[in-house]
Structure 1
Amino acid sequence: MRDFEFQNGTKILFGKDQEQYVGRESTRYGKKLLLHYGGGSIKSSGLYDRVVSSLREEDIEIFELAGVKPNPRVSLVREGVIICKENNIDLILAVGGGSVIDSAKAIAAGAKYEGDVWDFYTGKNSVSDCLPIGVVLTIPAAGSETSAGTVITNEDGFYKRAMGHNNLRPKFSILNPVLTYTLPSFQTACGITDMMAHILERYFTNERNVELTDRLCEATLKTIINNAHTVLENPTSYDARAEIMWSGTIAHNDLLSTGRVGDWASHDIEHEISGIYDIAHGAGLAIVFPAWMKYVYKHDINRFVQYAHRVWNVEIDPFDLEKTALAGIKKTEEFFRSIGMPISLTEVNIFDEHIDEMAKKGTERGPLGNFVKLYEEDVRQILQLAK
């Protein structure tokens, strides 16, 4: 196990009707707030009215920026930065899922920066200060409600890039499982896949003697797997929704990273796919992760055997460890398929046209991953396996 520092300062308010406290939590950071959200779903559900009412009870002045799309765009972020600077905004409140929260984080960083916010995503500069962020979560998936990271897409060149800083962790996040009852099945399944992928990125490590975090990863994966079909078949099961929502937060709050180095190549490869084709991030991960597994499993077959046995209950064949490892990969694919996810690029109408471009762009800043270093040709072969 490696030495580590762990700090996650996000206050969590979890449970029914917790959004009623959003005004109380927001007023701790000032009286001018940018309310950031996506489309009309928070209005049709009544959540918008409840949030605004709570904010107004605390005499908070509200500015709004709607229109966040999946794979959030830097152009809208730049609009938000201008609003914050021109109106001396004190806090950004993100009401939505990972895309809204990631966009809010980018605005929060850009509002305290004299240059272009995209500089943070290209590595030209790093975050030193940002506005505080609050969250009312409506889609459990990305884990952005407590994470330090944000992912934004630049329409100029279709680049989808990530950056992170501890200052970007939200000050508070409100998690009410009831708010997820009306999510479409596909969106729920994409969220389940995304949170599983966050765990798998951490699980496949070269670090030894990490039994505790191995077991935490496995337990969180099994909790998601055990509740996934329940929330898809019975969307108003509070208990199952609560398990899924909290698992998504645990998957990406960095507790599972302690003492180990994760991989993250599959996320980087998926970013190239959704950057060009604008597909759902979870769907892209369901396609990429099994292909990545098939490409790298021989690097540490014992870890893949452990994964197959502990997560998927595959019986270990001591005379054929490869058979066991491959069975775990197959179980992963079968699960993604069972919740309605695609597991090949052709299923989402992606063929050979941009494979070379994606492999080149994905590795232009260096090799991807830590479990196995992947270069341009490696990424190309993984994308071919994903077809």
Structure 2
Amino acid sequence: MTTPETSSVAAGICRHTLLERVVHGQPFDKAVVEEMHVCNAQRVLVIAAPQARGSVALQTLSAALGQRYVGEFCEALPHVPVRCIRQGALLARELNVDHLVALGGGSVIDAAKAIALLLHKSVDADAAMLLEPQDLSQVDSSDPDQEAADWLRITVVPQTLSAAEFTWFAGVSDPDTRVKNIVAHAAMAPRTVILDPVLTMDVPLPIFLASGVKAMDHAIERLVALRSHPVSDATSLHALQMLAWALPAVHRRPGDLEARVQCQLASWLSITGGNAGVKTGASHALGHTLGIHAGVAHGLTSCVLLPSVLRWNVTVNQRQQRRVIAALDGPGEDLGSWVERFVATLGLPARLRELNVPEVDLPSIAQKSMHDPGMRNSPRPVQSAGDALEMLRMAW
């Protein structure tokens, strides 16, 4: 038997988060109520986006929670402005909540995690502390220490494929400077994730599909890393193959719930490579920066940036990119072109100009992106903002 070709493996630790359960195959409201019984939650605050206010999903959730439901915070805005975190934390303290339920996409989920973090730090403190750079390499997701018992538990009911529900970190932004910062703590990780494909029907189809491309970005950037891990390779590759089938199926048949749940499970797999220490790179770093700078959803940032980032890196990770193409049955095609063509089949934008990003803004985006941790993980080292600008111009 031949040994499979793999990337070199660095010494490290494969971590696990505080996640206890991933529930799927039953209606979300029933699963939420069962979870509240398990953890004996009595005062539940629901975190959601403004558009969720008055929705059937939110009404169903509040009715199911009954007397446990003490309120809702429907101010979780895109890219998680720091002011909404303080507002949410103040409300949680005022209502004396003992559990957070996040219903929505990645920004909603990140908001719930950041609210829990600010409550732990002290809501009376300046919320701007969440914008202070943090050395994420010092955050050990496997060692939440005794403080974890004092944190608000979080249950997440995701409606997109961001996979934020499976991580112990969150992006928080400063709308004035249009800069995003990543905050992290082991105890921020949600304890339960409830996957119900019916809820994803509430999300506009292009946004849902684009969030799936973001999940593909999680998988691909780890698969083409110079130093990988067999756990990351296995989960990332399977996630990518699942999404390559399921996203077009949803595009063709938006009501196909089986395809949607396959997307949800693939999203879960797509993020697990991070637990093995394999990092994402420039596509994520540029995407974080572009998202807040230009008000672009993160799924769409992956649609327009990933192909160019792959082409920029191919001189140093061609072998890894070829392995991915082979697994996707795309021989004779470079990986950047495959992703570009795949995005087009979903009817999603492929260039920055299609997102109305002014070319004149590219140098500023490039400069800001150098502060994102992902830039340090690029297979081809990003030496300066000029390198980042080169990738952005390729994508424009």
What TM-score, normalized by structure 1, do the two folds share? Answer: 0.88
CA deviations over 1:356-384 (Å, ceiling 9, x no partner) = 11121221478813223312111011111
Q: 1 CA distance for matches of 2:52 and 2:231?
A: 40
Q: Which residue of 1 is the match for residue 210 of structure 2?
A: 190
Decide which of 87, 90, 95 is 2:98's aligned counterpart. 90
Amino acid at match of 1:363: M
* 1:116 paired residue among 126, 129, 145: 126
Deviations 1:227-254 (A, max 9, x none): 11111121221211110011112212x2
| Distance in 2, Cα, partners of 1:283 & 1:62 | 35
Task: Work out whether 1:216 is the aligned partner of 2:235.
Answer: yes
CA contact (8 A) 1:202 1:260 kept: no
Cα distance between partner residues in 1 of 2:277 and 2:175: 34
Relative distance call for 1:245 and 1:3 in structure 2 (3 A) is same
CA separation of 1:22 and 1:373: change in aligned 2, threshold 3 A? same
Q: Partner letter of residue 238 of structure 1? A: L
CA contact (8 A) 1:202 1:263 kept: yes
1:278 Cα deviation from its structure 2 partner: 0.3
Quickly say closer, same or farther: Cα 1:101–1:42, change in 2 above 3 A. same
Distance 1:147 1:213 in 2: 15
Equivalent position of 1:76 in the other structure:
84
The answer as to whether partners of 2:83 and 2:127 remain within 8 angstroms in 1 is no
Partners of 1:62 and 1:364 in 2: CA distance: 39
Deviation at 1:83, TM superposition (A): 1.4
Match of 2:300 in 1: 283
The percentage of aligned residue pairs carrying the same residue is 21
Q: Which amino acid is the alignment partner of residue 63 of structure 2?
A: S
| Pairing 1:182-331 to 2, within 5 Å after superposition | 182-207=202-227, 210-211=229-230, 213-252=232-271, 254=272, 256-311=273-328, 313-315=329-331, 324=332, 327-331=334-338
Does the 8 A contact of 2:77 with 2:84 survive in 1? no
Distance verdict in 2 for CA 1:364–1:3, change over 3 Å:
closer
Structure 1 residues 28-47: aligned runs within 5 Å: 28=39, 30-41=41-52, 43-44=54-55, 46-47=56-57
Which deviates further from its counterpart, 104-113 or 76-85?
76-85
- Tell me which residue corresponds to 1:318: none
Report what 2:346 is aligned to. Answer: 339
Q: CA deviation at 1:118?
A: 3.7
**Displacement of 1:194:** 1.1
Question: 1:286/1:176 Cα in 2 relative to 1: closer, same or farther (>3 Å)?
Answer: same
- Is 1:16 the counterpart of 2:29? The answer is no
SS in 2 for 1:369: helix
Unaligned regions of 5+ residues in structure 2, if any?
1-8, 140-146
Whole-angstrom distance in 1 between the partners of 2:173 and 2:133: 15
Larger deviation, residues 336-345 vs 210-219: 210-219
Residues 15 and 276, structure 2, Cα contact 8 Å, conserved in 1: no
Opposite residue 382 of structure 1, the aligned amino acid is M
Alpha-carbon distance in 2 for matches of 1:333, 1:95: 31
Alpha-carbon distance between aligned partners in 2 of 1:365 and 1:67, rounded to the nearest angstrom: 26
| Residue 123 of structure 1, CA deviation | 2.5
Deviations 1:42-91 (A, max 9, x none): 733x22222112211xx315122113233222211110111123333211
Contact 2:111 2:170 in 1 (8 A): yes
More deviation, 256-265/349-358: 256-265
1:269 & 1:382 partners in 2: Cα distance?
A: 9
Distance in structure 2 (CA, Å) of the matches to 1:386 and 1:18: 39
* C-alpha distance after superposition, 1:140-198 (max 9, x if no partner): x1101222121122112111222222211111111111222343221121111111111
Structure 1 runs (4+) greater than 4 angstroms displaced: 124-129, 364-367
Question: What RMSD in Å do the two structures reach over aligned CA positions?
Answer: 2.3
1:169 aligned to which of 165, 176, 189 = 189
In 1, distance between residues paired with 2:326 and 2:135? Answer: 44
Q: 1:231 to 1:157 in 2, by over 3 A?
A: same
User: Which amino acid letter does the alignment assign opposite residue 76 of structure 1?
Assistant: C
Q: CA deviation at 1:330?
A: 0.8
User: Partner of 1:342: helix, strand, or coil?
Assistant: coil
Residue-by-residue CA offset, 1:317-365 (whole Å, 9 max, x unaligned): xxxxxxx5x6222111000111122121111121322211112122147
| Correspondent of 2:12 among 3, 14, 20 | 3
Q: Per-residue deviation at 1:220?
A: 1.3
Aligned length, in residue pairs: 370
Determine helix, strand or coil for the equivalent of 1:62.
strand
Cα contact 2:110–2:171 (8 A) shared by 1 = yes
Q: 1:232 to 1:249 in 2, by over 3 A?
A: same
* Corresponding letter in the other structure for 1:142: S
Aligned-partner residue type, residue 243 of structure 2: I
Flag the 1:61–1:364 CA change in 2: closer, same or farther, 3 A. closer
**Contact 1:20 / 1:51 at 8 angstroms: preserved in 2?**
no
Counterpart among 8, 32, 49 of residue 59 in structure 2 = 49
Structure-2 separation of matches of 1:285 and 1:109: 27
> Aligned equivalents of 1:299 and 1:125: distance in 2?
27
- Aligned partners of 1:263, 1:369: CA distance in 2, in Å? 9
The 8 Å contact of residues 79 and 291 in structure 2, kept in 1 or not, is answered as yes
Listed as ranges, the gaps of 5+ residues in structure 1 are 316-323
Amino acid at match of 1:18: F
